[in-house]
Amino acid sequence: MNNTSVPTINQTACQIREVAYCLPATPCDRCQHPAPRFSTAHRTAIDLALDHPILLHVTVSVHHCAACQHYFRVQPPFLRPDAIYTNRVVEKAVQSVYQDKMAMRCVSTRLARDFWVQPSEGMIRMWCRTYRTTFDFALDYQPWVVREFSGILCVDEVYQDQLALLLAVDPAAPEGDRLVGYQLVHGSVDAVTVEAFLTRLQAAGIQPDEVVTDGSALYPSVVTKVWPTVAHQLCLFHETRRVTKAVQEVISTARKSIPTPPPGPGRRRSGPIRATPPTDDPSDPVTQRWAGRQAERQRLLAQVHMLARQGHSQRAIARATGLHRQTVKMWLQQEVVSVEEVVPPAAVTPTKPLQPARCTADRPALKAQVHALAHQGLSYSAIARQTQVHRVTVKAWLQQEAPAALDAEPSTPVVSEAVPDVELLPSEPAATLAPPPAPWTSWDEVRQVREALQEHRFLLLRRPEHLNAEQQAHVAALLESPLGSQLQVARAFLEEWYGLWRDETGQRRTLEEAQARYVVWQTKPEYGAIAPLRRVQERMTPAHFERLSQFLRHPAWEATNNGAERAGRAFRHRQAPHFNLRKPESVEGALIVTACQHKAAATAQAAVPIHTCQRGRQRRQAPVQPRSTCVV
Q: Is the domain of 117 the same as that of 144?
A: no
Q: Is the domain of 105 the same as that of 24?
A: no
Q: Is the domain of 380 the same as that of 338?
A: no
What's the pLDDT at 266? Answer: 46
Q: Is the domain of 108 the same as that of 160?
A: no
Q: Which helix (H) or strand (E) holds 300?
A: helix 285-309
Q: Is the domain of 473 the same as that of 531?
A: yes
Query: Is 103 inside any structural domain?
Result: yes
Among 51-65, 135-149, 260-274, 501-515, the range scoring the smallest mean pLDDT is 260-274
Query: Is 430 inside any structural domain?
Result: no
Beta bridge partners of 386: none
- Asked if pLDDT for residue 629 goes beyond 60, the answer is no
- Asked if pLDDT for residue 223 goes beyond 80, the answer is yes
Q: Is the domain of 91 the same as that of 25?
A: no
- Asked if pLDDT for residue 343 goes beyond 80, the answer is no
What's the pLDDT at 339? Answer: 65
Query: Is 424 inside any structural domain?
Result: no
Q: Is the domain of 126 the same as that of 147?
A: no
- Domain final position from 322, 347, 372: 347
Across the range 269-296, mean pLDDT stands at 78
Query: Is 622 inside any structural domain?
Result: no
The SS3 of residue 169 is strand
Query: Is 466 inside any structural domain?
Result: yes
What's the pLDDT at 364? Answer: 80
- CB pairs under 8 A, 24+ apart, for 503-511? 506/465, 508/551, 508/552, 508/555, 509/552, 510/552, 511/549, 511/552, 511/553
From CA 318, how far away is CA 298, in angstroms rounded? Answer: 16
Return the number of other C-beta atoms located less than 10 Å from residue 90's C-beta.
Answer: 20
Higher pLDDT, 226 or 619: 226
Query: Is 392 inside any structural domain?
Result: yes
From CA 278, how far away is CA 284, in angstroms rounded? Answer: 9
From CA 64, how far away is CA 158, in angstroms rounded? Answer: 57
pTM over 0.75: no
Count the domains in the chain: 6
Query: Is 322 inside any structural domain?
Result: yes
Give the confidence band of 628 by pLDDT, cuts at 50, 70, 90. Answer: very low
- Asked if pLDDT for residue 429 goes beyond 70, the answer is no
From CA 19, how far away is CA 32, in angstroms rounded? Answer: 26
Q: Supply φ then ψ for residue 516, to 5 degrees.
A: -65, -40
What's the pLDDT at 580? Answer: 61
Give the confidence band of 378 by pLDDT, cuts at 50, 70, 90. Answer: confident
The boundaries of the domain holding residue 169 are 137-235+560-601
CATH code, 227: 3.30.420.10
Query: Is 613 inside any structural domain?
Result: no
Q: Is the domain of 545 the same as that of 485?
A: yes
Across the range 85-108, mean pLDDT stands at 93
Across the range 55-82, mean pLDDT stands at 93
- Asked if pLDDT for residue 258 goes beyond 50, the answer is yes
Nearest to 159 by CA among 587, 559, 580, 561: 587
Per the CB < 8 A criterion, the answer to whether 62 and 37 are in contact is yes
Per the CB < 8 A criterion, the answer to whether 141 and 599 are in contact is yes
Task: Quick: pLDDT tens for 390-409.
Answer: 888 888 888 888 776 544 44
Q: Is the domain of 248 the same as that of 211?
A: no
What's the pLDDT at 461? Answer: 95
Q: Is the domain of 444 the same as that of 547?
A: yes
Burial class (CB within 10 angstroms; exposed 0-12, middle 13-18, buried 19+) of 141:
buried
- Asked if pLDDT for residue 350 goes beyond 60, the answer is no
Q: Is the domain of 60 the same as that of 123?
A: no
Written as one string, the DSSP assignment of 246-257 is: HHHHHHHHHHHT
Q: Is the domain of 393 the same as that of 327?
A: no
